[in-house]
Structure 1
């Protein structure tokens, strides 16, 4: 199954870029989401309350302060467990992690108990990106003028300083996830760290095997072929896979196939025999047995119960925030000691000031936006190209 195939699945939600950046950040008081998946990675930081997250056949409870990463094309659903559950979301284009497909730990246990200092950097970086991107979404409320919609601001490219800042933060997030939280760094069956954490060669072999299984699961995969790809014999390959993931090779393969079968059960009208063949199971009977082992239900019963809960069959339900999003931004900026910048401070830097004022004048809204007196001053500043005075003016 390639990306083009996943794009045909009915409950796919496509990654929406904010401006020119490979990330999108937003804050929501979550009530309940439909079952869905994304064509990019999704990072969650729970700011208050608690939520239950269903990812494939796993169910986790997230509480305030928790961080979680949901992989590309991973079927999931979020349901609040307390009166208010506020979550900061960061959606990332998969390209920030490189050209190869990557698979990260999706159990909050790992993020609570391993590399805690790195998780704190991840959360702070999410907040910084959110605050920066949020500044472009706000309206400019200027005394004596009008509010200028964000889509007008976005007509001007963000200043280099801002682009560099968001690019740096995005790169930091990618580096931490790649260095510490890829699936091969942990045993998938008992929540332990991989014994190969100190061996790059062994980690790379486990990573290559995981990636190969996820890429080729719908074909006939033999252990000796996997071993041949890594220039080792099949007995050592078997030992390496089980030691690194906690699961034997065949169990890993069946797990991935059952996991991908869920996508077809909920997102297509294929019959069960077609699904069994499509995900690589040798027979319909073996598919039913393995699916029931992992999901605790027969495939047909699972489809009947959960397909009606998929996007867009039901709408996403969000609660109203008990305090405004602006107040949340102030709280987050204070907690992480991040200096908040207004839209004008972010935009009006260096040569960007010239473009911004030129845009206002060209669109014929400068007078209403700045007021008559300020307009005359701004025209002088526009000629002098003095951004400090413009910032004081606004």
Structure 2
């Protein structure tokens, strides 16, 4: 089967295989893949084109790009990173409609360096699997996507050329994605389907449509249609007892001999031989690929040879309904026709509910990180019911220090925090609130190397501090007092990120909690 199913493990929307490639036959998948050559060289075929990738080179395979990999006359180590687009589309709605290209000759070296570093960070996080590494992998992948959108994103113009608008690169004909066309062909392959019908639907000339299909897949329209029919026939061949003549007719072939011809072309054997060999067995394209997975030590050595500072860190699990906060991102025009940003499109940030809640004395323990932030005296850039973001300036191009404070509580708990009168009331809220939340803060205009400090108090920390406040440990022994202090102490971590235009900072919570995040340019 040429459509490869990607299996994502450990609840991660990211999969990474690092291996010595011998031969990985033609296939495609519905997600995006980045191929990164850590050592040696490989031959990559994508659509109509053939590329030789050497150490340090990268290649982006957009969803449904048909491709193959094979070794050259030297050994290699290749990192293949795949991203679950159905997951990341929640944050970037147009992600599947964008087309990404890495041009090793024309792209700026600093942009390529950022991309290499992020790829290396993700690989190291997966290798080391530190506590809560899933969170770090997802956060790094957000930064990877931001880097792709900023520096490696192309759009198609009226001439059928792909052009990078943001980077001002030269227009070029490239193998692009044809999502609507491919979807239409998959939905209608069982009947007589013509190129002129699709061209009319897409408002394109037959010549131009034929040309871009060839550019994208390396196949003519008719060969592509036959390939789709053959691929879809595999299920009936292996899961039913239908005769191949009936299968050929159901798949849209005018004669069984054409079905056999194209099946042999793609699967390398007669349909009946294929049925005999694989019926009742698990069959995936990857099982036909020839490669040897690399050991963690081999991977780490190769990564360190190419990049500096690829390390790991913390946190939690995947959550639904993320809170997405954009800093310095245009979201439309104001009444005067001037661009307005995400944080200024809402009401005055200084009127946000978090200030009312945290200034109440009964919430002092909950508000400790808030007061730490307020003591900095920075300018409020954005605020809401459960978050506030400040900086030493207001122009993101000049901001070298950004401070982010986020709390996990919903509007109902927020109303309660405005009304409670005792710390016992607060303790009950902390103990009983169990919902999950995810914050993703996207900082536009942030380029360079940043150090990120995280001061975090989870539900257990808050509950312990409140309990100790209500019941001072008058008779507790030294060991009990030490355990109490350790249990109530926040966690403090630090790590570094290299960003290109957009820095993404992510945090998650299970139950009531708070995190103060300090972002400093190095």
TM-score grouping bracket, smaller chain normalisation: 0.5 to 0.7
Cα distance, 1:321–1:378 mapped onto 2, change above 3 Å: same
Q: Match of 1:241?
A: 209
Matching of residue 258 in structure 1 with residue 235 in structure 2: no
Q: Which has the higher contact order (CA 8 A, sep 6+)?
A: 1
Structure 1 portions without partners, runs of 5+? 1-8, 140-149, 187-191, 198-202, 359-374, 390-394
Q: Match of 1:216?
A: 188
19, 33, 41: which one aligns with 1:42:
33
- Asked if structure 1 preserves the Cα contact closer than 8 Å seen for 2:457 and 2:490, the reply is no
- Asked if structure 1 preserves the Cα contact closer than 8 Å seen for 2:42 and 2:69, the reply is yes
Secondary structure (helix, strand or coil) at the match of 2:18 reads strand
Following the alignment from structure 2 to structure 1, what is the Cα–Cα distance between the partners of residues 152 and 251? 28
Q: Match of 1:24?
A: 15
How far residue 169 of structure 1 moved from its aligned partner, in angstroms, is 1.9
Secondary structure (helix, strand or coil) at the match of 1:318 reads strand
Secondary structure (helix, strand or coil) at the match of 1:343 reads coil
Following the alignment from structure 1 to structure 2, what is the Cα–Cα distance between the partners of residues 345 and 297? 44
Secondary structure (helix, strand or coil) at the match of 1:220 reads coil
281, 294, 302: which one aligns with 2:253:
281
Following the alignment from structure 2 to structure 1, what is the Cα–Cα distance between the partners of residues 32 and 76? 21
Cα distance, 1:164–1:310 mapped onto 2, change above 3 Å: closer
- Asked if structure 2 preserves the Cα contact closer than 8 Å seen for 1:354 and 1:382, the reply is no
Matching of residue 349 in structure 1 with residue 454 in structure 2: yes
Q: Match of 1:383?
A: 488
104, 123, 135: which one aligns with 1:158:
135
Larger Rg: 2
Following the alignment from structure 1 to structure 2, what is the Cα–Cα distance between the partners of residues 23 and 388? 24
Cα distance, 1:58–1:92 mapped onto 2, change above 3 Å: same
Matching of residue 330 in structure 1 with residue 304 in structure 2: yes
Q: Match of 2:328?
A: none
Following the alignment from structure 2 to structure 1, what is the Cα–Cα distance between the partners of residues 223 and 187? 14
How many residues end up aligned between the 2 structures? 320
Following the alignment from structure 2 to structure 1, what is the Cα–Cα distance between the partners of residues 15 and 116? 10
Q: Match of 2:58?
A: 67
- Asked if structure 2 preserves the Cα contact closer than 8 Å seen for 1:23 and 1:92, the reply is yes
Q: Match of 2:145?
A: 170
Q: Match of 1:51?
A: 42
How far residue 93 of structure 1 moved from its aligned partner, in angstroms, is 1.0
How far residue 385 of structure 1 moved from its aligned partner, in angstroms, is 3.0
Secondary structure (helix, strand or coil) at the match of 1:218 reads coil
Q: Give RMSD over aligned pairs.
A: 5.6
Moved more, 208-217 or 69-78: 69-78
Secondary structure (helix, strand or coil) at the match of 1:45 reads strand
Cα distance, 1:102–1:276 mapped onto 2, change above 3 Å: farther
Q: Match of 1:125?
A: 115
Cα distance, 1:344–1:42 mapped onto 2, change above 3 Å: closer
- Asked if structure 1 preserves the Cα contact closer than 8 Å seen for 2:99 and 2:154, the reply is no
Secondary structure (helix, strand or coil) at the match of 1:16 reads coil
Q: Which has the higher strand share?
A: 2
- Asked if structure 1 preserves the Cα contact closer than 8 Å seen for 2:22 and 2:71, the reply is yes
Cα distance, 1:324–1:100 mapped onto 2, change above 3 Å: closer
Following the alignment from structure 2 to structure 1, what is the Cα–Cα distance between the partners of residues 182 and 83? 21
How far residue 88 of structure 1 moved from its aligned partner, in angstroms, is 1.2
Following the alignment from structure 2 to structure 1, what is the Cα–Cα distance between the partners of residues 303 and 481? 34
- Asked if structure 1 preserves the Cα contact closer than 8 Å seen for 2:213 and 2:221, the reply is no
Residues 191-210 of structure 1 aligned to structure 2 (within 5 Å): 193-194=172-173, 208-209=180-181
How far residue 386 of structure 1 moved from its aligned partner, in angstroms, is 6.5
Q: For residues 144-164 of structure 1, give each alpha carbon's deviation from its aligned partner in whole angstroms, at most 9, with x where no partner exists.
A: xxxxxx4xx23x8737xx755
How far residue 86 of structure 1 moved from its aligned partner, in angstroms, is 0.6
Following the alignment from structure 2 to structure 1, what is the Cα–Cα distance between the partners of residues 313 and 57? 30
Moved more, 120-129 or 375-384: 375-384
Matching of residue 15 in structure 1 with residue 7 in structure 2: yes
Structure 2 portions without partners, runs of 5+? 163-170, 317-451, 464-479, 495-522
Q: Match of 2:333?
A: none
Cα distance, 1:226–1:132 mapped onto 2, change above 3 Å: closer
- Asked if structure 2 preserves the Cα contact closer than 8 Å seen for 1:49 and 1:82, the reply is no
- Asked if structure 2 preserves the Cα contact closer than 8 Å seen for 1:50 and 1:80, the reply is yes
Following the alignment from structure 1 to structure 2, what is the Cα–Cα distance between the partners of residues 380 and 42? 46
Q: Match of 2:506?
A: none
Following the alignment from structure 1 to structure 2, what is the Cα–Cα distance between the partners of residues 254 and 344? 50
Cα distance, 1:10–1:345 mapped onto 2, change above 3 Å: closer
TM-score using structure 2 length: 0.45
Secondary structure (helix, strand or coil) at the match of 1:219 reads coil
How far residue 281 of structure 1 moved from its aligned partner, in angstroms, is 3.2
Q: For residues 235-293 of structure 1, give each alpha carbon's deviation from its aligned partner in whole angstroms, at most 9, with x where no partner exists.
A: x632442454568xxx843122233245357774476545544543333344456678x
Cα distance, 1:240–1:53 mapped onto 2, change above 3 Å: closer
- Asked if structure 1 preserves the Cα contact closer than 8 Å seen for 2:210 and 2:220, the reply is no
Following the alignment from structure 1 to structure 2, what is the Cα–Cα distance between the partners of residues 278 and 56? 28
Moved more, 67-76 or 322-331: 67-76
Cα distance, 1:137–1:215 mapped onto 2, change above 3 Å: same
Following the alignment from structure 2 to structure 1, what is the Cα–Cα distance between the partners of residues 250 and 113? 38
